């Protein structure tokens, strides 16, 4: 896709891109106020039957999750999508990079659909191919590229995953970042971790026991990443300067405040939070592991959870015997995850029933070939 999701949002054109690319958008997007939305969704889902498989990320709205055949973190959903060869349509209720990965991991005859094309990920947009190629050129000039293994977080475009596959690296998710980084450090002397500096730092320092001094931040907006060749040579982990705009907002103050307000509370955060926040927390884990940790805790447990709001609300509903609070009242939903709502889901499902395929996500075969190498490497990690 030539235009990034950030570009789309900045330009405020949303799904209009589809018509610009010559894709017509027939049919009407149902109104949010339509009282028959749930009925319409049920009828369309029933009509599609086993031809469709609906995946829902944990950050999706409840109204969407109600129609998901499976729910999961990005690792589980990638595996689930790959395990449904009989489904003609994979409806991905998540964000763009997840739908791209599903397209790469499914067969050529399967069609992956993202109900709203403007559902991107601001972190994934923080690394583009040109910037990564410039970084690699600088590592080559510094004489370290041949000892460096790229590790790309799932939250990246297919093109970045392809770069990783082409250079002997792997994709990782928040649930296997430790294994992926340890694998890369056995294979080479350095790791280029992108695009989330926080997940990279938390994994290197808090999970693998490296020091903060072993890490250097590569700033794609500065000459030579803002580093000297000596700093590049010395670093074991080069962290791309990207972050999640939702998780990056939790602070150590919010951790201290909740501990003072709720005695006995345990703080549970996603590893996309800043290093200081993760260091101060009691438990860190992917969305799937956050859910398991709370579910397995005894009745009466108190948890302050630092991740996206739809998931925290669902945790509170699903665990009425526990006290679940949001870690910081000022942090809100992931606005791009939230773009997928029931009207968009109804729109794409009803269109499929009528024989019209909307919002298909396809990855260029040349990119898909190398991106699949990196994704398969991730799936083969121990």
b/e for 260-291, b at 16 or more Cβ within 10 A?
eeeeebbbbbbbbbbbebbebbebbbbbbbbb
Q: Which of 201, 332, 336 is nearest to 275 (CA)?
A: 201
Q: Quote the tokens at residue 205.
A: 């320092």
Is the N-terminal amide bond of 195 cis, ω within 30° of 0? yes
Output 41 or 294, the one with its CB closest to ligand 13P.
Answer: 294
Residue 121 lies near ligand SF4 (rule: CB under 6 A) = yes
Binding at 345: pick from ligand 13P, ligand SF4, none (beta carbon under 5-8 Å per type):
none
C-alpha dist (Å) from residue 96 to 6, 92, 237, 304? 11, 9, 27, 29
Q: Residue 22: is it exposed, middle or buried by C-beta count within 10 angstroms (0-12/13-18/19+)? A: exposed
Residue 173 lies near ligand SF4 (rule: CB under 6 A) = no
Binding at 73: pick from ligand SF4, ligand 13P, none (beta carbon under 5-8 Å per type):
ligand 13P
Residue 6 lies near ligand SF4 (rule: CB under 6 A) = no
Phi, psi angle pair for 34, to nearest 5°: -60, 115
Output 73 or 125, the one with its CB closest to ligand 13P.
Answer: 73
Distance in Å, CB of 272 to ligand 13P, minimum: 5
Task: Determine the Cα–Cα distance for residues 371 and 87; give it in Å rounded to an integer.
Answer: 22
Output 110 or 203, the one with its CB closest to ligand SF4.
Answer: 203
Between residue 256 and residue 285, which ones bind ligand 13P under the rule CB under 6 A? 272
Query: CB-based contacts of 296: which residues, under 8 Å, 6+ apart?
Result: none
Residue 90 lies near ligand SF4 (rule: CB under 6 A) = no
Distance in Å, CB of 149 to ligand SF4, minimum: 23
| Among residues 60, 106, 287, 338, the one that binds ligand 13P under rule CB under 6 A | 287
Residue 246 lies near ligand SF4 (rule: CB under 6 A) = yes
Residue 308 lies near ligand SF4 (rule: CB under 6 A) = yes
Residue 336 lies near ligand 13P (rule: CB under 6 A) = no
Distance in Å, CB of 292 to ligand SF4, minimum: 19
| Among residues 60, 164, 173, 310, the one that binds ligand 13P under rule CB under 6 A | 173
Residue 151 lies near ligand 13P (rule: CB under 6 A) = no
Query: CB-based contacts of 313: which residues, under 8 Å, 6+ apart?
Result: 62
Binding at 193: pick from ligand 13P, ligand SF4, none (beta carbon under 5-8 Å per type):
none
Query: CB-based contacts of 192: which residues, under 8 Å, 6+ apart?
Result: 135, 136, 139, 148, 149, 150, 151, 169, 218, 238, 240
Distance in Å, CB of 307 to ligand 13P, minimum: 7
Residues that bind ligand SF4 (CB under 6 A): 95, 121-123, 155, 244-246, 272, 308, 334, 336-337
List residues near ligand 13P by CB under 6 A: 73-75, 155, 173-174, 244, 272, 286-287
């Amino acid at each position: 896709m030539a235009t990034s999701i950030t570009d789309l949002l900045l330009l405020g054109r949303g799904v209009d891109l589809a018509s610009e690319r010559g894709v017509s958008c027939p049919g009407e997007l149902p109104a949010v106020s339509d009282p028959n939305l749930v009925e319409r969704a049920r009828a369309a889902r029933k009509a599609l039957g086993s031809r469709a498989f609906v995946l829902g990320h944990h950050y999706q709205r409840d109204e969407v999750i109600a129609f998901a055949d499976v729910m999961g973190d990005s690792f589980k959903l990638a595996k689930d999508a790959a395990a449904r060869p009989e489904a003609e349509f994979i409806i991905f209720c998540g964000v763009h990079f997840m739908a791209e990965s599903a397209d790469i991991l499914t067969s050529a005859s399967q069609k992956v659909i993202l109900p709203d094309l403007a559902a991107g990920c601001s972190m994934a947009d923080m690394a583009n191919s040109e910037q990564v190629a410039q970084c690699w050129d600088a590592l080559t000039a510094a004489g370290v590229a041949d000892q460096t293994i790229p590790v790309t977080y799932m939250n990246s475009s297919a093109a970045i995953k392809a770069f990783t596959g082409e250079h002997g690296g792997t994709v990782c998710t928040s649930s296997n970042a430790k294994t992926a980084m340890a694998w890369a450090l056995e294979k080479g002397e350095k790791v280029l971790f992108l695009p989330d500096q926080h997940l990279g730092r938390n994994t290197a320092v808090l999970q693998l026991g490296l020091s903060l001094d072993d890490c250097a931040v590569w700033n794609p907006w500065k000459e030579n990443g803002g580093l000297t060749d000596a700093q590049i040579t010395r670093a074991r982990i080069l962290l791309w300067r990207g972050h999640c705009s939702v998780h990056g907002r939790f602070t150590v103050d919010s951790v201290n405040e909740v501990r003072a307000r709720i005695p006995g509370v345990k703080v549970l955060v996603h590893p996309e939070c800043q290093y200081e926040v993760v260091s101060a927390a009691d438990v860190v884990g992917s969305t799937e592991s956050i859910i398991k940790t709370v579910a397995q805790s005894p009745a009466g447990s108190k948890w302050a959870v630092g991740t996206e709001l739809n998931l925290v609300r669902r945790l509170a509903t699903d665990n009425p015997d526990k006290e679940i609070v949001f870690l910081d009242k000022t942090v809100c939903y992931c606005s791009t995850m939230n773009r997928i709502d029931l009207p968009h889901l109804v729109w794409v499902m009803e269109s499929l029933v009528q024989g019209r395929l909307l919002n298909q996500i396809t990855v260029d075969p040349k990119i898909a070939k190398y991106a699949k190498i990196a994704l398969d490497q991730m799936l083969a990690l121990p």
